[in-house]
Structure 1
Amino acid sequence: MSLPLNPALASTSRPPVMEARRWLEGVSFPPERPLINISQAAPVDPPPEPLRRAMAEAALNQPDAHFYGPVLGRSELREAVARDWSRAYGGPIRPDEVAITQGCNQAFCAAIQTLAGPGDEIILPLPWYFNHKMWLDMQGIRTVGLHCGQGMVPDAEAAAGLITDRTRAIVLVSPNNPSGAEYPAETLRAFYDLARSRGIALIVDETYRDFDSREGAPHDLFADPDWGGTLIHLYSFSKAYRLTGHRVGALIASPARMVEVEKFLDTVAICAAQIGQIGAAWGMANMGDWLAGERAEILARRTAMAEGMAALPGWRVKGCGAYFAWVEHPYDMASPELARELVHKAGLLLLPGTMFMPEGDPEGARHVRIAFANADQAGIATMMQRLAAFRP
Structure 2
Amino acid sequence: MAHTRTSATFPPPVMEARRWLDGVTFSDDTPLINVSQAAPVDPPPLALRQAMAEFTLSQDSAHLYGPVLGNPDLRAELAQQISTHYAAKVEADQVAITSGCNQAFSAAISALTDQGDEVILPTPWYFNHKMWLDMAGVRAVDLPTGDDLLPDPEQARALITDKTRAIALVTPNNPGGVEYPAELMLAFFELAQETGIHLLVDETYRDFDSRSGPPHDLFQQPGWDQTLVHLYSFSKAYRLTGHRVGALATSPALLSEIEKFLDTVAICPGQLGQFAALWGMQNLSQWVAGERDEILDRRAAIAEGMPALEAKGWKLLGLGAYFAYLEHPFDIASDDLARQLVKDAGILLLPGTMFMPDHDPAGKQQLRVAFANLDRAGITQLFDRLQALTF
TM-score over 0.5 for the alignment? yes
Query: What residue in structure 2 maps to residue 327 of structure 1?
Result: 326
CA drift of 1:74 comes to 0.9
CA drift of 1:27 comes to 0.4
Distance 1:92 1:275 in 2: 28
Query: What residue in structure 2 maps to residue 68 of structure 1?
Result: 65
Query: What residue in structure 2 maps to residue 213 of structure 1?
Result: 210
Distance 1:332 1:307 in 2: 26
Show the 5 A alignment for 1:1-392.
Answer: 5=2, 7-312=4-309, 313-392=312-391
CA drift of 1:150 comes to 4.9
TM-score (norm: length of structure 1): 0.98
Code of the aligned partner of 1:91: A
CA contact (8 A) 1:325 1:372 kept: yes
SS of residue matched to 1:152: coil
Distance 2:307 2:361 in 1: 23
Distance 1:365 1:174 in 2: 23
SS of residue matched to 2:176: coil
Distance 2:152 2:146 in 1: 7
Change in Cα spacing, 1:286 to 1:167, as seen in structure 2 (3 Å) is same
Distance 1:64 1:85 in 2: 26
CA contact (8 A) 1:326 1:369 kept: yes
CA contact (8 A) 1:116 1:141 kept: yes
Change in Cα spacing, 1:390 to 1:150, as seen in structure 2 (3 Å) is closer
CA drift of 1:101 comes to 0.3
Distance 1:244 1:75 in 2: 22
CA contact (8 A) 2:308 2:387 kept: no
Distance 2:218 2:382 in 1: 39
CA drift of 1:225 comes to 2.7
CA deviations on 1:92-123 (whole Å, 9 max, x unpaired) are 11111111001000000011011112110000
Unaligned residue ranges in structure 1 (runs of 5+): none
Moved more, 89-98 or 287-296: 89-98
Code of the aligned partner of 1:335: S
Distance 2:147 2:286 in 1: 34
Distance 2:390 2:293 in 1: 34
CA drift of 1:374 comes to 2.1
SS of residue matched to 2:47: helix
CA contact (8 A) 1:121 1:142 kept: yes
CA drift of 1:7 comes to 1.4
Distance 1:222 1:366 in 2: 37
Distance 1:315 1:73 in 2: 46
CA contact (8 A) 2:36 2:348 kept: yes
Code of the aligned partner of 1:177: N
CA drift of 1:310 comes to 2.4
Distance 1:268 1:310 in 2: 48
Change in Cα spacing, 1:150 to 1:355, as seen in structure 2 (3 Å) is closer
CA drift of 1:173 comes to 0.3
CA drift of 1:76 comes to 1.1
Runs of 4+ in 1 over 4 A off after TM superposition: none
CA drift of 1:306 comes to 1.7
Distance 2:152 2:259 in 1: 33
Distance 2:353 2:242 in 1: 27
Moved more, 89-98 or 277-286: 89-98
Distance 2:281 2:26 in 1: 40
Code of the aligned partner of 1:85: I
Unaligned residue ranges in structure 2 (runs of 5+): none
Identity of aligned residues (%): 62
Distance 2:265 2:3 in 1: 18
